[in-house]
């Protein structure tokens, strides 16, 4: 309940502080104190919404991406590095927040769709499969039995 207002206030304060290029312990502290409560409020909101069957149907679209979370996270990092950093297309300094948000939504939507397709044929995401195989010390079955 308190995470949302505290997180929003902390993030608003962080956004109005010194430019990000200036090193600042205060800025970093405000960031940490704003981001954690905001993230906790998101988790609480999704958890509460999940209790309702209608909301569960809508939120269920994200389940496959959650089942392949490490693959999604790593691939998102690689995609964004390729798009926004100088070693790739270098869009980072050329586009503002009005383009970052739709680009991020498009990337995640594509990842959700890819996760849905992948998990129809396989038990885990590719990185999750590798992680499990390394953890158990032997190759884990990847393909679904009914695929």
What DSSP letter does each residue of the chain carry, written as one string?
A: --HHHHHHHHHHHHHHSS-TTS--HHHHHHHHHHHHHHHHHHHHHHHHHHTSHHHHHHHGGGHHHHHTHHHHHHHHHHHHHHHHSTTTT-GGGT--HHHHHHHHHHHHHHHHHHHHHHHHHBSS-HHHHHHHHHHHTSPPP-B-TT-
State pTM to two decimals.
0.76
Residues 104-147: pLDDT tens digits? 999 999 999 999 999 999 999 999 999 999 999 999 999 998 75
pLDDT in tens, 36-94: 999 999 999 999 999 999 999 999 999 999 999 999 999 999 999 998 887 877 777 78
């Amino acid at each position: 309940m308190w995470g949302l207002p505290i997180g929003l206030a902390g993030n608003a304060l962080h956004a109005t502080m010194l430019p990000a290029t200036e090193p600042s312990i205060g800025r970093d502290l405000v960031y940490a104190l704003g981001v954690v409560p905001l993230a906790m409020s998101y988790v609480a909101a999704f958890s509460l919404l999940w209790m309702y069957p209608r909301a569960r149907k809508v939120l269920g679209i994200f389940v496959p991406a959650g089942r392949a979370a490490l693959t999604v996270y790593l691939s998102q990092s690689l995609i964004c590095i390729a798009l926004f950093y100088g070693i790739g297309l270098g869009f980072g300094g050329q586009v503002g927040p009005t383009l970052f948000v739709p680009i991020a939504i498009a990337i995640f939507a594509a990842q959700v769709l890819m996760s849905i397709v992948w998990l129809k044929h396989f038990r885990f995401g590719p990185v999750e499969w590798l992680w499990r195989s390394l953890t158990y010390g032997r190759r884990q079955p990847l393909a679904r039995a009914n695929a």
